[in-house]
Structure 1
Amino acid sequence: MALSRLDKAQVWLFGAVTGVFFMLFRFFCPRSPAAAAAAGKKLPPVSDPLLLLSATQLAKKIRRKEVSSVEVVQAYIDRIQEVNPFVNAVVKDRFAAALQEAAQVDKLIEEETGGEEVLEDRLPLLGVPLSVKESYALQGMPFTTGLVSRQGVVATVDAPPVALLKRAGAIPLGVTNISELCMWMESSNNLYGITCNPYDLERIPGGSSGGEGSILASAGAVIGVGSDIGGSIRMPCFFNGIFGHKTTPGIVSCENQYPPCSGRQEEYLSSGPMCRYAEDLALMLRVMAGPKARMLCLNTKVDLKKLRFFSIPHDGGSVYTYPVSQELIDIQRKVVERLEADFGVKVQEVRFPELRYAFQIWDTFMVLPDKEGRPPLPFAELMGEPGRPVWPLWELLKWMVGKSDHTIAAIGLALLGTARSSKASAFAIQQKEKLQKQVDELLGTDGVFLYPSYTRVAPKHHHALFKPFDFSYTGILNILGLPVTQCPLGLGEEGLPLGVQVGAGKLQDHLTLAVALYLEKTFGGWRDPGSK
């Protein structure tokens, strides 16, 4: 299907703006200070065996008094202090409070008379360290989302998923870096600086949950909390070689996050677990979902031989995205081959022409008004919080002389917002409806699909500015409302993580989590970036 005149205009506009940013960035910032400082440096390898255990295993050892919570928490504090100077992932810690809480856990276990089973049922994560994305409210911790104007804002409550994890016994160690206002694929802002990928410090860790992805991959955390409206869990998990799950929307609460949802954005935003070990995904999701966990059949045993598998090799050639690299095509093919060999299934390759319009679909649905006709808050208004909206062109001029409080990515998004038509694209809505119908009918309750996570491995710092729409590979799945698990698949030619998205029908989260366990066993899961 040919592009409409409006679509062609959008392609030209976005291409022109991106080209201008490219020239400006190359002129004013020829090389990022973070990349220059990181050149030639490498993360130290993991030396403490406690850091190589899953949260599930740690909780069991703590309950059985084989190791104390204080020992575990201290091991992770030591690791954060060792690696954070390299990656700048944890932006504010609460180490002293965490050690006090760990001591209370150890005392509780000493005094418990009900036995290990009672503790496991009531407090399944008792004594286990936790990291939290800074855009979630964590009582007593910064709650700025990287905005200089919100510096000094401190959370007075816990976001519901954080509260549930704490209630299950998890101990937060601190909050991690994000992209400014959570709307970019590089975790960089003028409040906390730039976060690096532990496998190559000159590469991005993804965004917006990039601090989470980086510290988890660095073995500075074992479990973490992320949010995802366009790939903000899955891209960092892909770039950093860990596991992450975008839940079926509406299962895990998205309250007490900043920025707040407006328009229809709540329909596409998901909160979910991020971790190094696949067995922790279901445990975390069961806790984070609270009473709604029963909707997901997380205790149902999945027989992978009885599932129907599909592989979608790429988006069909969108004008907005780069072609998928050969190494990602090859690794997805290897997954197909292993599934067929190990389970005797036939993985069907499918293609959806509508995926070529993934960016237009995502962009259109993100700005739709809610049921009362209220449009989403303009990005320029959010940037000015708690004051007046910013003037994007003025911020661009200020940025060129080093005087803006905002990143070039945020300024660019604000500029594009002012240029975007307020009229919804009927063409994009039509394409989404067609795609939704086909995908839902294909997957049913026993279908699982594979889809590339991105077009290539983790880009170098700031290079995502010149490939701004490749997130469409993750973003389209938000609009379709599907559960998706990001799974690592070893390291590629450059020593950077490979991976694939595993998706299923709505409320079939347990299917993708079961596939994640299989892929971890088959491809090795997370790799220590200090030992590569």
Structure 2
Amino acid sequence: QSGRHMTASRPPDWSKAVKPPHKSRPWGPEAVKCIDVIQAYIQRIKEVNPFINAVVKDRFEEALQEAQQVDRLLSEGVGDEDFLQEKFPFLGVPFTVKEAFALHGMPNSSGLVSRRNLICTSDAIVVSRLKQAGAIPLGVTNCSELCMWYESSNKVYGRTNNPYDLQRIVGGSSGGEGCVLAAACSVIGVGSDIGGSIRMPAFFNGVFGHKPTTGVVPNDGQFPNARGVRIDFLCTGPMCRYAEDLKPMLRVMAGPGVEKLKLDEKVALEKIKFYCMEHDGGSVFVSPVDKEILQAQRKVVEYLEAQLGVQVQHVSIRRMKYSFQIWSAMMSSKGSDGQETQMFIDLLGDHGKPVWPSWELLKWFLGMSSHTFPAIALGLTEKLMKLSPAAMAKLVNMGQSLRTEMEDLLGANGLLLYPSHPIVAPKHHFPLGMPFNFAYTAIFNVLGLPVTQCPLGLSTEGLPLGIQVVAGPFNDHLTLALAQYLEKAFGGWVCPGKT
């Protein structure tokens, strides 16, 4: 099943999913060697990546060398199992990284043609922490241009395809990461999220993704990074196939800041106050919620009530109807320090030659632009559709009121169930017709709340279903606990092709 056997017409054998190495003892005569695990994942990537185009640059040779070092460490008997678990909790575990993050020796273009030759000489903080915990990076994965669109496609690496249906999107901007995990080409991954960029790909690809409470996991070492008020909205977080990996990943990625998240507190789910919203209230800017997504959410409610003996309270939060408008206004507002928000067209030019969106649009029609249509459209929208100061202030105030309302509702012991997206993974280019569907995830970025996307099996078309679990600030341990509970109840990740 190596790469040399691939042809464009032959579908990949999705069933050959490799079990993660940290599910068994890391040493002993019966153990699988780290070098064997890394080789298996490399072969897996070579087999399926020609179809999905998720890994855009690999470091296979370096990964194999690092695997040999792990095997030598274990053969020398350096410390017992408890010592190794404490010092290297992800020893020998393969992982992948969204290309927007710095990984030494790898590109860091974020799909921007002008940065295509940029090679990192250092690691982003979260990448460094995972490497120090023993994890072995296999390569970097695709994203949308400048991480501001929910289809992962750009002029540097091309388009990534959903492993459940190659004609469907993987989401964005951490779409390559969600895809590579779903296709069993990696065990854990690093993503970032300012409008749902972890949770949408996790939903479309049927894996777990967690947006932590704002300000806990460092965002340093990614491009583009947040400035001004957006610092309060951008979150770096874990993505994985198995819910049990979320907490140890978050612990490593957060570093000293993890103390704020109460991850060691035991959670009694039967004592949690559960709330449920089935849709945003009917915004004209987004699609109605699919029937199968609603059915999956109702099954969760029924299961919790039957198994835990809790009462899930259905709530209607009026301001959620204005999620897109609130997110858009708060993303464009000034920070508390008065710093202006960075313009998207400045990022398109990578702080060099200015980019004129109208000129780029003309070039795009002629097939001459180095930018994607969504990036050009965003630049035009930013330039032509500015809100008045009064309208901006009204929406920002609405967002602040919604944050207070949500925090009061959830308190220290509440969880909200909410759709991850109004529709299952759409076909390529569909987002151009419904560009604001991401509002279902984006609203929680400006509210600063922790959210976990949990898979809930597959639709009748064989596409992933899922749900968002939302908690109050710094109560990430609640959403992670429910994620593990729902995984046991509904099966979690389903290998593509196994329907």
Match of 1:17 in 2: none
Note the C-alpha offset of 1:46.
Answer: 2.9
Cα deviation per residue 1:250-291 (whole Å; 9 max; x = unaligned)?
Answer: 110001110121121110111110000000000100110101
The range that moved more, 416-425 or 278-287, is 416-425
> Are 2:11 and 1:46 aligned?
no
Q: For structure 2, list consecutive stretches of 5 or more residues without a partner in the other structure.
A: 1-6
Match of 2:3 in 1: none
> Are 2:345 and 1:401 aligned?
no
Match of 2:215 in 1: 250
Note the C-alpha offset of 1:204.
Answer: 0.1
Q: 1:277 pairs with 235, 242, 245, which one?
A: 242
* Aligned counterparts of 1:371 and 1:86: Cα–Cα separation in 2: 46
> What SS class does the counterpart of residue 132 from structure 1 fall into?
strand
Alignment of 1:112-261 (within 5 A): 112-261=77-226
Cα deviation per residue 1:370-401 (whole Å; 9 max; x = unaligned)?
Answer: 23322122111111115212100011101101
Note the C-alpha offset of 1:65.
Answer: 6.8
Note the C-alpha offset of 1:530.
Answer: 2.7
Q: 1:320 pairs with 277, 285, 300, which one?
A: 285
Match of 2:4 in 1: none
* Aligned counterparts of 1:391 and 1:112: Cα–Cα separation in 2: 61
Q: Percent identical across equivalent pairs?
A: 55
Match of 1:448 in 2: 415
- One-letter amino acid matched to 1:418: K
Match of 1:30 in 2: none
* Aligned counterparts of 1:298 and 1:63: Cα–Cα separation in 2: 31
Alignment of 1:272-311 (within 5 A): 272-311=237-276
> Are 2:313 and 1:348 aligned?
yes
CA distance 1:304–1:409, change in 2 (3 Å): same
> Are 2:23 and 1:57 aligned?
yes
- One-letter amino acid matched to 1:388: K
* Aligned counterparts of 2:192 and 2:162: Cα–Cα separation in 1: 19
> What SS class does the counterpart of residue 228 from structure 2 fall into?
coil
Match of 2:482 in 1: 515
Note the C-alpha offset of 1:150.
Answer: 0.6
CA distance 1:153–1:113, change in 2 (3 Å): closer
- One-letter amino acid matched to 2:305: E
Note the C-alpha offset of 1:427.
Answer: 1.9
Q: 1:471 pairs with 438, 450, 468, which one?
A: 438
Note the C-alpha offset of 1:296.
Answer: 1.0
> What SS class does the counterpart of residue 457 from structure 2 fall into?
strand
- One-letter amino acid matched to 2:172: G
Match of 1:20 in 2: none
Count the aligned residue pairs.
491
Match of 2:53 in 1: 88
Cα deviation per residue 1:438-462 (whole Å; 9 max; x = unaligned)?
Answer: 1111111110010001110001001
CA distance 1:45–1:382, change in 2 (3 Å): same
> Are 2:32 and 1:77 aligned?
no
> What SS class does the counterpart of residue 456 from structure 2 fall into?
strand
- One-letter amino acid matched to 2:329: T
Whether contact under 8 Å (2:181, 2:189) holds in the other structure is yes
Note the C-alpha offset of 1:39.
Answer: 10
* Aligned counterparts of 1:172 and 1:71: Cα–Cα separation in 2: 15
Match of 1:430 in 2: 397
* Aligned counterparts of 1:519 and 1:358: Cα–Cα separation in 2: 27
- One-letter amino acid matched to 2:23: Q
- One-letter amino acid matched to 2:155: N
Once superposed, what is the RMSD of the aligned Cα atoms?
1.5
Match of 1:411 in 2: 376
* Aligned counterparts of 2:452 and 2:398: Cα–Cα separation in 1: 24
* Aligned counterparts of 2:87 and 2:301: Cα–Cα separation in 1: 40
* Aligned counterparts of 2:183 and 2:451: Cα–Cα separation in 1: 23
Match of 1:379 in 2: 344
Note the C-alpha offset of 1:357.
Answer: 0.8
* Aligned counterparts of 1:322 and 1:525: Cα–Cα separation in 2: 26
* Aligned counterparts of 2:409 and 2:29: Cα–Cα separation in 1: 46
> What SS class does the counterpart of residue 264 from structure 1 fall into?
helix
Q: 1:365 pairs with 330, 335, 341, which one?
A: 330
Whether contact under 8 Å (1:63, 1:116) holds in the other structure is no
- One-letter amino acid matched to 1:488: P
TM-score of the pair, normalised by structure 2? 0.96
- One-letter amino acid matched to 1:370: G
Whether contact under 8 Å (1:207, 1:235) holds in the other structure is yes
Cα deviation per residue 1:214-239 (whole Å; 9 max; x = unaligned)?
Answer: 11000001100000000000000000
* Aligned counterparts of 2:30 and 2:189: Cα–Cα separation in 1: 24
The range that moved more, 136-145 or 421-430, is 421-430
* Aligned counterparts of 2:490 and 2:481: Cα–Cα separation in 1: 14
Note the C-alpha offset of 1:434.
Answer: 2.1
Whether contact under 8 Å (1:73, 1:99) holds in the other structure is yes
Match of 1:16 in 2: none
* Aligned counterparts of 2:11 and 2:291: Cα–Cα separation in 1: 27
* Aligned counterparts of 1:95 and 1:61: Cα–Cα separation in 2: 21
* Aligned counterparts of 2:406 and 2:269: Cα–Cα separation in 1: 20
Whether contact under 8 Å (1:269, 1:478) holds in the other structure is yes
The range that moved more, 113-122 or 460-469, is 113-122
> What SS class does the counterpart of residue 493 from structure 1 fall into?
coil
TM-score of the pair, normalised by structure 1? 0.90
> What SS class does the counterpart of residue 334 from structure 1 fall into?
helix
* Aligned counterparts of 1:323 and 1:46: Cα–Cα separation in 2: 33
- One-letter amino acid matched to 1:501: Q
Whether contact under 8 Å (1:62, 1:69) holds in the other structure is no
Alignment of 1:455-494 (within 5 A): 455-494=422-461
Whether contact under 8 Å (1:489, 1:500) holds in the other structure is yes
> Are 2:315 and 1:336 aligned?
no
Whether contact under 8 Å (2:330, 2:399) holds in the other structure is no
The range that moved more, 377-386 or 508-517, is 377-386
Q: For structure 1, list consecutive stretches of 5 or more residues without a partner in the other structure.
A: 1-37
- One-letter amino acid matched to 1:511: L
* Aligned counterparts of 1:429 and 1:223: Cα–Cα separation in 2: 36
> What SS class does the counterpart of residue 52 from structure 1 fall into?
coil
- One-letter amino acid matched to 1:45: W
